[in-house]
């Protein structure tokens, strides 16, 4: 008896490929709130720029905001600690507090690594809280 093959659904395969390609090319809008030119602020800026270049090359906008110079923006975002990174887009909004040196934590916070996954280069996202 021969095994019956599943029918080929090229339209469904094409739609799935389009959806996955669109998701992996989403543009990230990030804001990093820092407190002046402190070593901790400099470290956070260095860490997020390195992470973005490695994982989001060509598809991110990063705005660095000094809360001493622009306190109204910090109040509007309800920033209570600095450095704080906010992922505005793609939804959902996420906040990561600290110097961003724990790359796995930052990747999960940006939804670039599913919660609980160690290592790998997956762009498939699970919600990381």
66-108: pLDDT as tens digits = 999 999 999 999 999 999 999 999 999 999 999 999 999 999 9
Residues 37 and 39: their CA atoms lie apart, in Å, by: 7
41 by DSSP, 3-state: which? helix
CATH superfamily name and code, 27-109: Glutaredoxin (3.40.30.10)
> How much is the pLDDT for 27?
95
Q: In this predicted structure, what is the pLDDT of residue 20?
A: 53
DSSP lists the bridge partners of residue 124 as: none
Q: Is the per-residue pLDDT at 18 higher than 70?
A: no
């Amino acid at each position: 008896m021969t095994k019956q093959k599943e029918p080929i659904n090229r339209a469904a395969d094409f739609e799935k490929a389009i959806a996955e390609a669109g998701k992996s090319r989403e543009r990230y809008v990030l804001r990093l709130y820092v407190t002046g030119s402190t070593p901790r602020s400099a470290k956070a800026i260095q860490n997020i720029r390195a992470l973005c270049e490695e994982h989001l090359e060509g598809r991110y906008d990063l705005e660095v905001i000094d809360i001493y110079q622009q306190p109204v923006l910090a109040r509007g975002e309800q920033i209570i600690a600095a450095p704080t990174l906010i992922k505005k887009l793609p939804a959902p909004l996420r906040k990561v507090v600290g110097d961003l040196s724990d790359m796995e934590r930052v990747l999960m916070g940006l939804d670039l690594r599913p919660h609980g996954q160690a290592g790998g280069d997956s762009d498939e996202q699970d919600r990381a809280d």
